[in-house]
Amino acid sequence: MDTPLTSPGTDTKPDSLPDFRDPSRAKLLYRQIHEAVRPGQRYRFMEFCGGHTHTLFRHGLTDPLPSAIELLHGPGCPVCVLPMARMDMAIRLAKRPEVILCTYGDMLRVPGSQRQNLLQLKAEGARIEVLYSPHDCLALAKAHPECQIVFFAVGFETTAPTTALLVTEAERQGLRNLTVFCNHVLTPPAIRGILAPTDDSPAPQLEGLIGPGHVSVITGMTPYHALSTEFQINIEVCGFEPLDLLQGILTLVQRTNAGSVEAHNQYTRAVTASGNLKAQALLRQVFVVRDAFEWRGLGFMPHSALALAPGYARFDAEHRFALQEAPAQDNRACACPSVLRGQTRPEACPLWDNPCTPDNPIGACMVSSEGACAAHYRYRRHQRIPTSA
Amino acid sequence: MSPTTSLITLAHGSGARATHELVTSLFLRHFNNPILATLEDGACLPTACENSAAELIVATDGHVVSPLFFPGGDIGTLAINGTLNDVAMAGGRCRYLTASFILEEGFPVSQLEKIVISMAETARAAGVQIIAGDTKVVERGKCDGVFISTTGIGQGKALMLEGLSHLQPGDHILLSGDIGRHGATILSHRQGLKFESDLTSDCADLGPLIAQLTGIQGLRCLRDATRGGVSAVLNEWAQASGHVLQIDEARIPVSPNVAALCDLLGLDPLYLACEGRCLLICTAESAESVLTALQAHPLGVQACRVGVVVESDVPRVELLTIFGGRRLLDWSYGDPLPRIC
């Protein structure tokens, strides 16, 4: 289906959210999906993004799908893939008396290797600020010249440009007490990490990949064409509304049936072929690609993360505070690593629900609302419907 | 409480499961008595029960809202209405209030007066007198401008609430209006979030709305959805009654601007606080007359049936989604925070 979703009426804006949640149009898409599914054919699709996982669960979208369609959760949750060693570094930073650590709300409950999290440190008196925009760091830096403001930056290509803007703005304003602890990661190397076989596991059996939406607003479609060709897999870049996902699933079913392979853009109202060129230029200006970076569940992956470019070293918290990464071991029983690869169902982890819960998360997939373990726990723990990995 | 909890965190004040656990595992454990153990917002005093019309109802509520002034109200209106509503939810009519102020050194008297005028006007409109009070001042930085605690003393029983133990499969779950407006308004005016919106808090005295229900039989339970939102009330009810509460998503009224803010921040209106909305459960037979009575009042024009009590093995709240799916409507975990991606 190549027709983008548009408004049925003239009195509503084409992009208004209710249109993308219209139950009657959803019913139509479900019927088309049911009609398209062929007996004996498997349709294993991985949604890369935690945002997609969240939409599927929150709206109960998987229940009316044919049983031949299996949705596996991917590693696209920035909180989940941050390795414990980096979380430990953030905790060490927050413990420094001169530091005000600023970050997004999701990071507050992620446990470090000593089972400590930022929320507890805050209760103990550490200065930790929850931000809605990294730009709020600028005002904090000016208001507290005696303190070191550190932005704990996490996220994919989606949030990296705003961090880059913070750095250029800090430079323009001549701020000397603001640094960034950079943990931005890149999506295409992670997709490669999922699709390629490793020493421990063969390549996953997938008929299609639901590609990230917001990341692709920045990157454009170019990386997915290469990945689709390299791994001979259909990639459907999707928006985050229920109808976006249903339309994407229908397209993947149709392409699976046709035996054709391509990367396709469902999210045309936001994603363009070449992406946001201005943001891409800003990323190239402020960041360099790290040689390798550890991802929880995927291990060290080459060229998969960003660090501040040498020209911006004075804004790099790792540089200013001489931070060293110390190896940290995840709980051995925690199945987060294989959950993040789509190989283990969250319920199959021995820690899931006991003792690992959103109130007492052991692994990162239980912390973020976009983590697969948290989604299964919050939305399905009494149903245990085997619809997805 | 969770075995790892040794310090109070913000999650304990969110009205979510952590709050519930703190209340039951600490306060109730040490203060335990039959009145407190009902865990209702308002306490019905048994000493006055011989004459049910003269039954005393006491409720207390602390207010620490930030910002102090917001569209649709301020900490003063909230401090009065919050406690009036707690008394109303216990089936009573509030008569007297006490107010305790904790003030921060350096706080402008002009702002305090604005708050006090709000309180006086809100109390007067409700026909309630503020009959005792207390004032403490703490050093700068030791509180956030003004904290206000109020205690309400009321008379009942205007309503006959049968209680959660009488819940039956087939009972109807009703909601008095659109949800999440107070929480969304506060969030959009918090420091750091600079939204321009026409959101206003739904902060209101629910007493007159509840008075509409006087004389109606078959009312099981009644609660205003404050911290933790509609989800917290439903989960507490499900847990306390042992039933499954099944909610139909399509029937829940959410205003377009609340829905838009939630979409932008990745929040769910079912978890956002209301300050002028209540949920109630009644028998199927009485549902129609309850709805008619609620809808006859300006605060209840959007009142609707949102779900039913169903029989099942594990108590829980289930949401039937508009797409035909079925999922848990779980407790929230800590304060609602915007997601990052």
Q: What's the CATH code of the domain at A106?
A: 3.40.50.11740
Which chain B residues contact residue A62 at CB under 8 A? 325
CATH number at residue A253: 3.40.50.11750
Predicted confidence (pLDDT) at residue A89 exceeds the cutoff of 90: yes
Strands A148-155 and A178-184: parallel
Written as six digits, the tokens of B216 are: 């109606």
For the stretch B203-229, pLDDT in tens is 999 999 999 999 999 999 999 999 889
Cβ separation A105–B324 shorter than 8 A: no
Residue whose tokens read 């009657």? A24
A226 plus A257 within the same structural domain: yes
CA separation, residue A127 to residues A100, A238, B4, B11 (Å): 5, 38, 21, 17
Burial of A154 (0-12, 13-18, 19+ CB in 10 A): buried
> What's the domain count of chain A?
3
Find tokens 């925690």 and name the residue.
A334
Q: Are residues A97 and A159 in the same domain?
A: yes
Say whether A58 and B322 touch across the interface (CB within 8 A).
no
Does a structural domain hold residue A387? Answer: no
Residue A211: the pLDDT is 97
> Does residue A5 belong to any structural domain of this protein?
no
- Answer yes or no: do A101 and A153 share one domain: yes
**Which band of pLDDT confidence, cut at 50, 70 and 90, is reported for residue A16?**
low
Q: Would an 8 Å CB–CB cutoff place B262 in contact with chain A?
A: no
* Structure-token pair, residue B231: 């989800």
Same domain flag for A166 and A71: no
Partner-chain contact B260 A17, CB within 8 Å: yes
Which of B8, B323, B331 is the best substitution to test chain A (most A C-beta atoms within 10 A)?
Answer: B323
What residue of A is the nearest CA neighbor of B9? A123
- In this predicted model, what pLDDT tens digit does every residue of A212-231 receive, in sequence order? 999 999 999 999 999 999 99
Is residue A76 predicted with pLDDT exceeding 60? Answer: yes
> Which of B258, B262, B209, B251 lies closest to B72, judged by CA?
B258
pLDDT digits (tens, 9 = 90+) for A341-360: 888 889 999 999 989 988 78
Q: Which residue bears the tokens 């309630």?
A: B128
pLDDT in tens, A374-383: 999 999 887 6
Distance from CA of A202 to the nearest CA of B (A): 30
Identify the domain containing residue A72 by its residue range: 21-78+188-265
Encode burial over B128-164: b for 16+ CB neighbours within 10 A, e otherwise.
Answer: bebeeeeeeeeeeeebebbbbbbbbbbbbbbbebbeb
In this structure, the dihedral spanned by the alpha carbons of residues B298, B299, B301 and B306, taken in order and rounded to 10 degrees, is -170
Phi and psi (nearest 5°) for B308? -135, 160
Per-residue model confidence (pLDDT) at position B25: 92
pLDDT band at A18 (very low <50, low <70, confident <90, very high): low
* Continuous H helices in chain B: 17-22, 28-31, 75-89, 109-125, 181-189, 207-211, 229-241, 256-265, 284-295
Chain B residue with the nearest C-alpha to that of A118 = B9
Whether residues B268 and A104 touch (CB distance < 8 A) is answered with no
- In this structure, the answer to whether residues A161 and A283 fall within a common structural domain is yes
Rounded to 5, what percent of chain B is helix, strand, coil?
Answer: 35, 25, 40
Confirm whether A74 is domain-assigned.
yes
Query: CB A120 to CB B330 under 8 A?
Result: no
Residue B333 forms contact with A (CB below 8 Å): yes
In this structure, are A239 and A90 located in the same domain? no
Q: Is the CB of A61 less than 8 angstroms away from the CB of B323? A: yes
A2 located within any domain: no
Residues whose CB falls within 8 Å of the CB of residue B301, separated by 6 or more in sequence, listed in order: B177, B295
B325 and chain A: CB distance < 8 Å anywhere? yes
Rounded to whole angstroms, what are the CA distances from B244 to B116, B225, B280, B285, B329? 43, 18, 15, 19, 11
- Closest chain A residue to B339, measured at CA: A106
In this structure, are A110 and A164 located in the same domain? yes
End residue of a domain, out of A226, A246, A265: A265
Check whether residue A295 and residue A175 sit in a common domain.
yes
pLDDT of residue A232: 95
What pairs with residue B94 in β-bridges? B154
Buried b (16+ CB within 10 A) or exposed e, B240-252: bbebbbbbbbeeb
CB contact under 8 A, B18 and A57: no
pLDDT over 50 (residue A2): no
Query: Which residue of B lies nearest to A56 if distances are taken between CA atoms?
Result: B325
What is the CB neighbour count within 10 angstroms for residue B285? 12
Question: Could you tell me which of A357, A365, A376, A374 has the C-alpha nearest to residue A341?
Answer: A365
Nearest CB among B316, B323, B334 relative to A109 is that of B334
ipTM value greater than 0.90: no
pLDDT band at A331 (very low <50, low <70, confident <90, very high): confident
User: Domains plus CATH for chain B?
Assistant: 33-156 (3.30.1330.10), 164-328 (3.90.650.10)
| Rounded distance between C-alpha atoms, residue A324 and residue A172, angstroms | 29
C-beta of residue B310 within 8 angstroms of C-beta of residue B238: no
- A151 and A87 in one domain? yes
Res A389 pLDDT > 50: no
Whether residues A347 and A300 share a domain: the answer is no
Q: Is B310 on the interface with A (CB under 8 A)?
A: no
> Which chain B residue has the Cα nearest residue A154?
B340
CB contact under 8 A, B323 and A131: no
Worst-scoring range by mean pLDDT, A33-47, A106-120, B37-51, B198-212? B37-51
What is the number of CB-based contacts under 8 A between chain A and chain B?
121
- 3-state DSSP call for residue B151? strand
Q: Which residues of chain B have pLDDT under 70?
A: 1-5, 46-54, 157, 191-196, 334-341
| A236: closest CA of chain B, how far (Å) | 19
Report pLDDT for B3: 40
pLDDT at A202 over 90: no
B35 Cβ contact list (under 8 Å, min separation 6): B43, B44, B45, B46
pLDDT given for residue A13 in this prediction: 39
Residues of A in contact with B9 (CB under 8 A): 119-120, 122-123
In which order are the strands placed within the sheet that holds B172-175? B219-224, B278-282, B172-175, B304-310, B244-248, B316-320, B326-328
Nearest to A379 among B193, B322, B328 (CB): B328
In a domain, A329, yes or no: no
Distance of CA A103 to the CA centre of its chain: 16
Q: Which of A119, A132, A140 to mutate to test the interface with B (most CBs of B within 10 A)?
A: A132
Do A123 and B341 make contact, defined as CB atoms within 8 angstroms? no
- Chain B nearest-CA distance from A336, in A, is 20
Calculate what percentage of chain A has a pLDDT beyond 70. 94
Q: Which two tokens stand for residue A113?
A: 């290797």
Q: What is the pLDDT of residues A285-326, one digit of tens each?
A: 999 999 999 998 888 999 999 999 999 999 999 999 999 988
pLDDT at A7 over 80: no
Q: Distance, in angstroms, between B13 CA and closest chain A CA? A: 13
Q: How far is A378 from chain B (nearest CA, A)?
A: 6
Is B198 buried (19+), middle (13-18) or exposed (0-12) by CB count in 10 A?
exposed
Amino acid in position B66: S
- Out of A17, A60, A105, the one facing B337 most closely (by C-beta) is A105
Chain B positions touching A122 (Cβ under 8 A) are: 9-10
**Alpha carbon of B51 to those of A276, B55, B216, B238: distances in Å?**
73, 7, 20, 32
Nearest alpha-carbon partner for A103 in A73, A126, A76, A72: A126
* Rounded Cα–Cα distance for residues B77 and B128 (Å): 13
**A74 and A86 assigned to the same domain:** no
Do A96 and A176 sit in the same domain of this protein?
yes
Question: Does any domain span residue A11?
Answer: no
Could you tell me the maximum CA-CA distance found in chain B, to the nearest angstrom?
59
Under an 8 A CB cutoff, do A60 and B319 touch? yes
Percent of chain A with pLDDT over 90: 70
**How many CB atoms neighbour CB B217 within 10 A?**
12
**3-state SS, residue A236:** strand
Q: How far is A196 from chain B (nearest CA, A)?
A: 25
Q: What are phi and psi of B129, to 5 degrees?
A: -105, 140
Q: Across the strands, what pairs with B135?
A: B101
Interchain proximity A123–B7, CB inside 8 Å: yes
Q: At what angle do helices A50-58 and A372-380 cross, to 10 degrees?
A: 10
Query: Which tokens belong to B202?
Result: 């739904």
The pair of structure tokens assigned to B64 is: 């620490």
**Does the pLDDT value for residue A151 go beyond 60?**
yes
Contact between chains at B341 and A26 (C-beta distance less than 8 A): no
- State how far Cα A168 lies from the chain centre: 25
Return all residues near A102 (Cβ < 8 A) that are at least 6 apart. Answer: A128, A129, A130, A131, A134, A136, A137, A140, A149, A150, A151, A152
- Does residue A326 lie within any of the structural domains? no
Q: With respect to residue A164, please indicate whether it lies within any of the assigned structural domains.
A: yes
B-chain residues near A370 (CB < 8 A): 339, 341
**B232, B303 in Cβ contact below 8 A?**
no
Name the DSSP letter for residue A153: E
